[in-house]
Amino acid sequence: MEPITLVRASLGEQELAAVAEVFASGWPAGQGPRGKALEAQLAEMYGVGDAVAVSNCGAALHLALLAFGVEPGDEVIVADYTFPAPAQAVRYVDAVPVFADVRADTGTVDPQSVADLISPRTVGMIVVDTLGIPADYTELQELADRHGLFVVEDAACAVGATYRGRPAGSLAEVACLSFHGRKGATSGEGGALLARDPRIGAQVRLRSSFGIGSIFDLGKVVGLPIPEFTEIGYNYKLSDIAAAILQVQLGRIDELLDRRNAVAARYGELLADEELLTLPHVPEDRTHAWQSYVVTLDARVDRAAVAAELRGQGIGCGQGAWATHLQPVFESDHKCPVSADLFARNLAVPMHAELTSDQVERVAAALRGAVRSASDRALGGAA
């Protein structure tokens, strides 16, 4: 049977036409006309003071910490159950990532865990919209205000999600987006930093281009302006090719999100009575972007056996997110037991806007069979 991939980008003729326009313009590099247009589109879409298009979300996280003046030895609290990019960004500035445990039902950071970790060295927190669902920003912002901390929203997975009627990406003073190939809107790779304060946006834009600003803009000045390098910058620009693709993708975001919502709803119907797994939980005050559809397997189920059986049938699957504190590069004595448990028992099944109804039904049936078979083998071995 035809394979069903875990992820698949929804790219087509509209995106190709936008790329062709960039080729014809003669400016495929970063911070050109299409990059500027994308930034204006993002700022309007999220209602923020500025938006800066960058090469990826990891770059946006790094630039955010630089903008907040994080120094070596400072502590930044990060959500533990996620791709490890937030903790890596903290290390980029020689600061200390402090891992906060998460809610068992949503996988988002637990505000009480954050509160317990605040110390005199804490300067801020990176809050993750885990797998596409926003965290508890009301409680987290209250904590930050009480202790004078900054909040960065890692909305990498959450383009299209909402929290109490507000879009993910607008829930903190600075937010970071990803446009990686598995996201709801994609250019293959890419990211953006959103800032309520346009002064932060201006600073980030300068740093993202070696500290000298847009070469495209300099090329339009009459005469020969020679930029001076007055501070260390980075080559974090997003190409105009990628920006053009993203402009189309963001224009299609409602359509693409509707398709993902339909897939998630159908999975919910087909798997609702399966006792050997728990379905994703979405609190009433927020909506999910469904970057991933992740189920939590019963402790009696051998996850590796389930994955082997699904992949043997041509169905993609993955482990979900990571318990960052368990990764060798970050491993410490500090424990996040809920995150560790989710890391051990979560399983991602195919989720993207190109899935057909027949494919969703095939995945659900295969998953049911696999978890029951793996449970039977585990119980047989225990006997």
What DSSP character marks residue 326?
A: G
Catalytic residue among 183, 220, 237, 335: 183
- Which residues pair with residue 53 across a beta bridge? 192
Cα gap 244→18, rounded to integer Å = 6
| Burial tier of 249 (Cβ tally within 10 Å: 0-12, 13-18, 19+) | buried
- What b-and-e string marks burial along 114-136, b requiring 16 or more CB atoms within 10 Å of the CB? bbebbeeebbbbbbbbbbbbbbb
Q: At what angle do helices 57-67 and 198-207 cross, to 10 degrees?
A: 120
Q: At what angle do helices 240-251 and 13-25 cross, to 10 degrees?
A: 150
C-alpha distance across the termini of the chain, in Å: 36
Cα gap 48→159, rounded to integer Å = 15
Cα gap 356→307, rounded to integer Å = 21
Q: Is 183 annotated in the active site?
A: yes
Q: At what angle do helices 303-312 and 357-382 cross, to 10 degrees?
A: 140
> Which residues are known to be catalytic?
183
